[in-house]
């Protein structure tokens, strides 16, 4: 039996690693969209993070500094987006797409001399006896620290949006920016901060790809992870824990697909590599087929430009 060659513990472990970069990008974009901004530049910010994170890590020998650099790279690019959409009032969709193209191009240029190098290794976190638990130890407790920090970040974002006053203001700005402005909240300031957070998260997600998951730098290495993250936010109907469930589901499909290929299942490879994307589309259609806005919980002012004219 070919499927017997797939070890569930290894599969689970690989799934968490595969899910982490898209989860990071998605949780950042979730906050951005909750503030009412649609930033389609996630892919571009991720690849900039992947590239800059790689360069910094290679040059300093420290993956930690690499991640910091990646966060700043993503944030820098997102600030460009913030400048365009919040100060210059350009169209968010067009600016986001431009950001993706720009990020892909710039990272290819910057990363030219780094192709084929191996980055410094990020150590696995030593969790002592936890790692020795059968199955769970191998599947859940044998990862690098970023995997766990990402889960903590999801919890933090969930708490921030649900319980903190700042989170409430952010949701209010995303829900109805005219009302928020009338009450005296700084719509643009909130949005710029959210955009920066989203950029930093996307950058981290990119660095996770180039420093841990792959680990290598190649041009265009994110291959659509940013788009998956964007879809994930809608899939999760703007709820952090659902975004995590979605990321793990997606990661699971990716990993399973790889394993099936390795196990020699008699389906053309192309179909298998297509499957995660097909399933994402199917889930999106399924989710948005209901009574759209109420069931999907989309922020009311999403993708609407804000003029403080009145």
Partner 1 sequence: MRKPLLRLEGLTKAYPGVLANDDVSFQIGEGQIHALLGENGAGKSTLVKMIYGLVKPDKGRMTLRDRPYAPAQPSEARQNGVAMVFQHFSLFDALDVAENVALGMENPPPLRDLAKRIRDVSADYGLPLDPNRLVGDLSAGERQRVEIVRCLLQDPKLLIMDEPTSVLTPQEVEILFRTLRQLSAEGTAILYISHKLEEIRALCDEATILRGGRKVATCDPREKSARELAELMVGQILTPPERAAKPRGDVLLSVENLSLKSNNPFGTSLKDITFQLHGGEVLGIAGVAGNGQDELLLMLSGEIPSPAGQVRLKGQPIGQFGPNARRLRGLVTAPEERLGHAAAPDMSLTANALLSGAARKGLVKKGFIDWKKTDSFAREIIARFDVRTPGSHVLARALSGGNLQKFVIGREIELKPDVIVVNQPTWGVDASAASFIRQALLDLASAGAGVLVISQDLDELLEVADSFAALNEGRLTRVRPAKGLTVEEIGLMMGGAHDMHPAHEDAE
CA-to-CA distance for 32 and 142, rounded, in angstroms?
31
Min dist CB 104 to partner 1, Å, is 32
Which one of the spans 3-11, 117-125, 196-204, 293-301 is the region binding partner 1 (CB under 8 A)? 293-301
Site for partner 1 in 144-203 (CB under 8 A): 165, 168-169, 171-172, 175-176, 178-180, 182-185
Min dist CB 26 to partner 1, Å, is 20
Residue 171 vs 213, nearer CB to partner 1? 171
Contact 77, 18 (CB under 8 A): no
Min dist CB 39 to partner 1, Å, is 20
**What is the CA 3 to chain-centroid distance, rounded?**
31
Contact 187, 180 (CB under 8 A): yes
Residue 54 vs 158, nearer CB to partner 1? 158
Which one of the spans 60-68, 94-102, 148-156, 289-297 is the region binding partner 1 (CB under 8 A)? 289-297
Min dist CB 128 to partner 1, Å, is 39
- Nearest CA among 28, 46, 43, 17 for reference residue 203: 46
- Nearest CA among 31, 35, 41 for reference residue 203: 41
CA-to-CA distance for 240 and 246, rounded, in angstroms?
10
Q: Burial-class residue 234 by CB neighbours within 10 Å (0-12, 13-18, 19+).
A: buried
List all residues 6 or more positions away from 293 whose beta carbon is below 8 Å from its beta carbon: none
Min dist CB 285 to partner 1, Å, is 18
Asked whether position 295 contacts partner 1 by CB under 8 A, the answer is yes
- Nearest CA among 247, 244, 246, 250 for reference residue 276: 250
Q: Which of 113, 121, 189, 293 binds partner 1 (CB under 8 A)?
A: 293
CA-to-CA distance for 293 and 147, rounded, in angstroms?
32
Which one of the spans 11-19, 52-60, 246-254, 292-300 is the region binding partner 1 (CB under 8 A)? 292-300
Contact 33, 299 (CB under 8 A): yes
For the chain, give the number of residues. 310
Asked whether position 289 contacts partner 1 by CB under 8 A, the answer is no
Min dist CB 159 to partner 1, Å, is 14
Min dist CB 293 to partner 1, Å, is 5
Residue 101 vs 182, nearer CB to partner 1? 182
Token output for 171? 């949701």
| Per-residue mark of binding to partner 1, 235-274 (x: CB under 8 A) | ----------------------------------------
Give, in degrees to the nearest 5, the angle at Cα 67 between 141 and 187. 105
Residue 266 vs 291, nearer CB to partner 1? 291
Asked whether position 300 contacts partner 1 by CB under 8 A, the answer is yes
- In three-state secondary structure terms, 26 is helix
Residues forming the site for partner 1 (CB under 8 A): 165, 168-169, 171-172, 175-176, 178-180, 182-185, 291-295, 297, 299-300, 310
């Amino acid at each position: 039996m070919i499927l017997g060659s797939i070890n569930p513990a290894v599969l689970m472990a690989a799934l968490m690693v595969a899910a982490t970069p898209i989860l990071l990008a998605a949780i950042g974009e979730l906050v951005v969209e909750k503030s009412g901004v649609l930033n389609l530049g996630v892919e571009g910010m991720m690849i900039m993070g992947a590239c800059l994170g790689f360069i910094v890590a290679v040059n300093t020998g420290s993956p930690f500094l690499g991640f910091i650099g990646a966060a700043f790279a993503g944030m820098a690019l997102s600030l460009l987006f913030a400048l365009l959409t919040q100060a210059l009032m350009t169209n968010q969709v067009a600016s986001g797409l431009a950001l993706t193209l720009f990020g892909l191009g710039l990272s290819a240029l910057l990363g030219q001399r780094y192709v084929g190098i191996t980055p410094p290794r990020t150590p696995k976190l030593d969790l002592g006896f936890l790692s020795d638990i059968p199955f769970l130890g191998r599947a859940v407790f044998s990862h690098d620290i970023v995997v766990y920090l990402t889960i903590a970040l999801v919890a933090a974002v969930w708490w921030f949006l649900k319980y903190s006053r700042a989170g409430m203001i952010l949701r209010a700005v995303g829900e109805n920016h005219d009302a928020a402005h009338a009450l005296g909240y700084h719509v643009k300031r909130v949005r710029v901060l959210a955009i920066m957070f989203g950029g930093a998260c996307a950058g981290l997600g990119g660095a996770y790809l180039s420093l841990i998951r792959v680990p290598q730098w190649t041009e265009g290495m994110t291959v659509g992870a940013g788009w998956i993250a964007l879809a994930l936010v809608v899939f999760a109907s703007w709820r952090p824990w659902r975004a995590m469930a979605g990321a793990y589901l997606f990661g699971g499909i990716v990993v399973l697909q790889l394993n099936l290929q390795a196990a020699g299942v008699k389906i053309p490879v192309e179909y298998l590599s297509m499957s995660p994307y097909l399933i994402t589309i199917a889930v999106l259609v399924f989710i948005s087929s209901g009574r759209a806005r109420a069931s999907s919980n989309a922020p009311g002012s999403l993708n609407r430009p804000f003029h403080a004219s009145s």
